[in-house]
Chains A and B, each alone.
Chain A
């Protein structure tokens, strides 16, 4: 589904991604972790072309992301993305947030889009909030709406960029529950997150990045039981002991 092949990216002279390669098969859940500044968010943003990269190739569903001839908007319409800061559109009601891209991008009728949006809103447990505005919801609620908004586009895979990092601790679980459910239904997912409990529960593989390089790319059992690199061992020791 997603194939990342020898991708390198530079900001000027600074080499943020160094020859990264990995694949995500259909139905797989991959967790990407690593210290801050290791390039994990940049990598996931390269997957749907939000960040350009200078070398290597990424294909999603067989379509090359880096190819200038690719219609990126069309590709992105079917790759769901959830951001650290939710990024709901503050001037639209929740219902309109869910419907607008379906109408303007996929060409669905407004009623059809609203109906689909409300169904997904119900699924993330927020049907009662349909008429509200993003600023009137808590962070956890906003993030669940953001997931519903991405799902409304019938994505072929979902990208999560630290979806729980900006949340109060008590709201983390409501978002992880939605993600877990999604994973169990067979959604293809690539998640940048530090939630190792989530990784243990649902991930197929765990990727560990450091200084722009993919240091480990392992089955989760192997990763947690016995990380090969010293850097990953240190990282796990630091985030797992509390």
Chain B
């Protein structure tokens, strides 16, 4: 094949001279982590809220939550990203739009990516939370109400603590997905891990080393997430119940 392997490439100064190529990869790695974690916080909070609303007796609230879920999970992630980044700033009132458009371009990319990934994933989290709530025996809700709890108290003390325990495994999947989906944000120019990998290829003509490094970095992230979530799952296990002792 005649390919010249050169793993030393990562320690050579980059073309712009201010860093090594390893430094580029590290910057991308940090960006991917920062973006994914901040989007995950949005996804988890909003997803929990929307998921709960889908199960409440109030038809209007439940319908609103359903509409939210259908909107965000039926439009491709890439299209959503373009809408957040290219279209929405134009629709803002001019005064706010100008402030946004004159801000740091990296900040613009980051905000659009964070909101996009967060809301996209929140619709998926909402579905997991809803299915967790619906999989609990109906009698649990009645038992809470029969003791004199209000409906919000019943959710808070009876339904949600069990529902969240049940959905930790599927939520782990979503957590892994958000790191992988963050690669899509390279399409609007955000220099996260995948984008840095591609940039490295452009500057060094060492595609194998570059993408092997990117691959390993994603695997490292996801193995870490899986390990942590598994530990978390064990810690919150209920004695005498699923997964407990």
Query: If A87-B137, A87-B139, A91-B162 touch, does A135 touch B149 (CB 8 Å cutoff)?
Result: no
Q: When chains A and B are docked, how far (Å) is the Cα of A112 from the Cα of B148? A: 18
19 example contacts (A-B, Cβ-Cβ < 8 A) are as follows: A45-B142, A50-B145, A76-B146, A76-B147, A78-B148, A81-B142, A87-B137, A87-B143, A89-B161, A90-B238, A90-B241, A91-B161, A91-B162, A101-B149, A105-B147, A105-B148, A105-B153, A133-B239, A135-B244
Q: 8 Å CB contacts to B: which residues of A82-126?
A: 83-85, 87-91, 100-101, 104-106
Q: How many residues of A contact B (CB 8 A)?
A: 34
Are A87's CB and B140's CB within 8 A? yes
B165 at the interface (CB under 8 A from A): yes
Query: If A87-B139, A104-B157 touch, does A76 touch B238 (CB 8 Å cutoff)?
Result: no
Query: If A132-B239, A134-B240, A136-B239 touch, does A73 touch B145 (CB 8 Å cutoff)?
Result: yes
Q: Mark A66-85, 1 if CB is under 8 A from B, else 0.
A: 00000011101111110111
- The number of inter-chain residue pairs (CB within 8 angstroms) is 86
B150 at the interface (CB under 8 A from A): yes
List, in ascending order, chain A residues with CB within 8 A of B146's CB: 48, 50, 76, 79-81, 83, 150
Are B240's CB and A83's CB within 8 A? no
Which 8 pairs from chain A and chain B are nearest by CB?
A135-B240, A77-B148, A87-B143, A101-B147, A136-B240, A81-B146, A105-B148, A133-B239
Please classify how large the interface on chain B is, using the bins under 10, 10 to 19, 20 to 34, 35 or more.
Answer: 20 to 34
Residue of A nearest to B148 (CB): A77
* B interface, CB within 8 angstroms of A: 137, 139-140, 142-150, 153, 157-158, 161-162, 165, 238-241, 244
List, in ascending order, chain B residues with CB within 8 A of A9's CB: none
Q: When chains A and B are docked, how far (Å) is the Cα of A133 from the Cα of B244? A: 11
A40 at the interface (CB under 8 A from B): no
List, in ascending order, chain A residues with CB within 8 A of B140's CB: 87, 89
Are B238's CB and A101's CB within 8 A? no
Q: Closest CB of chain A to B243's CB: distance in Å?
A: 11
